[in-house]
A and B are shown apart, each in its own frame.
Chain A
Amino acid sequence: MSTRRTLRASRARLPLLLVLASAVGASGDSLAARVAFYNVHPWDGPTVVYRGWRDGACADPLVASGSPTVSIGDAQTRGECPPELDVFTRFHGAFATTSPVWEPVGGGATEYRIALPPINRLHVSVWVVRWSDPTLESRVQWAVFHALAAYLRFRTGQWIDVKVNYVNSGSPQAGYIGTGCHDALRARTTWAPGDNPYVENALNVFVVQTILDPDGSATTWMGLTCSYIDAANVAYLSSTFNNATLAHEIGHMLGMMAPEDEWGHTNWLDCGGVSCFSTENLMYSDVVAVNELTLGQAYRMNFDARSWLNRAAVAPARQLIRACQSDWLWNWPCPPLTLN
């Protein structure tokens, strides 16, 4: 596994490094193009990802940050390199355009002015079927808070808007929730006003003491997303869920399923002999606390067709939807998953 991936990592990273090096070299000359924002908040920390014709070549992704403007070098529109400019911030929605309009601002410089969209309120319906655990409510509360903070800090453009409900195991809602994804299908297709906790236009997270397999076997998994049975907006958490499990499962529901042979987990992705991702990455299978969520991951959450955001009937009209490649290191049509 590692040799092939290492080669691919090297191949994909080399041009990126060359481009970044040339950008640094050009910084003393003229950083002519810049992105300006009408509506940034001091805490937004806008980060621009630019792909297209730049500094005399088809550029690999350039990442630049700043406020209130971000300089990105000599960006131009050329037919052979379709441009794409994306902006990620902490308190606005993700922005993407394939037709940035550069306006002259004097002295040979050009500027592209953007009004960033409002942050997306990602509705998450959480139902907890109680069991004997005096710490259950505080654990749920903290997992929700940790997910909210992580998705904001790492500029996903998503405000995790959670409504938590608690029910007892004998309640009608608990009957619908059941014990695993096989029950989620029934909940999704059976309409019972007031009793069925499933919400069509939200992410649904059901917290149960034990997740069972369809054959009735108990698992000890912390969580499970039901995308494998086409219930892409449903996940289960079990009594072993940790602070990061809710955030991790939301990541799966927002399309973090690449690389597919790893179920979207980042543990085994090798970049030249070192791991491409931290053990605190959102999609690390053994994550305990989230302290890494790359721009490449934020990009796919927002713009990959596999993200639930881009499947839901009521999702706001997206500016751009890409069929992102399975290869996490390649840079087209989507930036590499490792981009940061």
Chain B
Amino acid sequence: MRTRDRLVVLLLAAVVGAAAPTDDLTVSERSWIRHWLECQECVNHELDSVRAIARRKPVETIAYLAGFALNGPPPDRRLEVTQQLRSAYVRDTAFAHAGGIDVPAIDDTLQVATSLIVFDRTYRFRAATALGWIGTPAADSVLDAVWRGSHDEQVRAVVRSARDRRTPQAPRRRPP
């Protein structure tokens, strides 16, 4: 199968939310991509690593990122994070009640749901940013598809920015 045809097949799989076509990405490569999708400050060369992977395996990397840009985090990761958030809610509130500390009047369902919305959006932001950073015509095609398919203005703004290649730099470091 030609490269272009493979990309079309992989992107179609991503669009319909089929199982991520990542067999050709190693565990380590997927792990680096996940670090980029979830990092707080992203100063450990996460984005550079994604681009390096994309240079070696452009079709697979773009398809992998397309899935996240279009659909957000994968279901298994979403489930893990949901469990972490629920556990944290229980721990924090139990500790606060025992220690006489005021607990915000937010129930666990709302708290977890709100956090998941942000988690989902962050995946879309980061995947779009990485696609802009890769900057190939195939990556641009995915960005265009995300822009057309998204109703979230914040996601569309990030896609627009990624399409313009206004991608982030790591802050220059100074000796501590």
Contact = CB atoms under 8 A, between A and B. Distances in A.
Interface residues of A, number: 57
Contact of B85 (A216, A222, A288): A288
B88 A289 contact: yes
A217 B41 contact: no
B104 interface: yes
B59 to A, nearest CB: 24
Interface in B122-160: 122, 125-126, 129, 154, 158
Given A135-B114, A142-B106, A218-B168, A288 B44 contact: no
Contacts of B35: 267, 285-286
A130 to B, nearest CB: 14
Contacts of A224: 41, 171
Interface string A236-257: 0001111111001100000001
Interface in B38-58: 38-44, 46
A291 interface: yes
Given A145-B96, A262-B44, A138 B106 contact: yes
A27 B61 CA distance: 56
Nearest to B115: A243
Contacts of B88: 146, 243, 289-291
Given A222-B40, A242-B119, A139 B168 contact: no
A248 B38 CA distance: 14
B6 interface: no
A228 interface: yes
Chain B: number of interface residues, binned into ranges: 35 or more
B123 to A, nearest CB: 10
Contact of A289 (B84, B167, B171): B84
B40 A289 contact: no
A142 B104 contact: yes
A195 interface: no
Interface string A276-298: 00001000011111110000000
B117 interface: yes
Interface in B89-136: 91-92, 95-96, 98-99, 101, 103-104, 106, 110-111, 114-115, 117-119, 121-122, 125-126, 129
B61 to A, nearest CB: 18
Contact of B104 (A145, A213, A222, A260): A145
A221 B154 CA distance: 14
Contacts of A165: none
Contacts of B95: 149, 152-153
Contact of A248 (B40, B96, B158): B40
A287 B38 CA distance: 8
B121 A286 contact: no
Nearest to B127: A220
A181 B101 CA distance: 33
B7 interface: no
B168 A285 contact: no
B119 to A, nearest CB: 7
A263 interface: yes
Nearest to A229: B174
A259 to B, nearest CB: 11
Contacts of A260: 176
Contacts of B119: 242, 288
A288 B43 CA distance: 17
B22 interface: no
18 contacts: A43-B98, A43-B99, A138-B114, A139-B114, A145-B103, A149-B95, A221-B42, A222-B40, A229-B171, A240-B121, A242-B115, A263-B173, A280-B84, A285-B38, A285-B39, A285-B46, A286-B39, A291-B84
Interface of B: 34-35, 38-44, 46, 81, 84-85, 87-88, 91-92, 95-96, 98-99, 101, 103-104, 106, 110-111, 114-115, 117-119, 121-122, 125-126, 129, 154, 158, 161, 166-169, 171-174, 176
Given A142-B114, A243-B88, A263-B44, 17 more contacts: A135-B117, A138-B104, A145-B104, A149-B101, A213-B171, A220-B129, A240-B122, A241-B118, A242-B115, A242-B118, A243-B85, A267-B44, A285-B40, A286-B35, A286-B39, A288-B38, A288-B81
The 3 residue pairs across chains A and B that have the minimum distance between CB atoms:
A289-B88, A286-B38, A219-B168
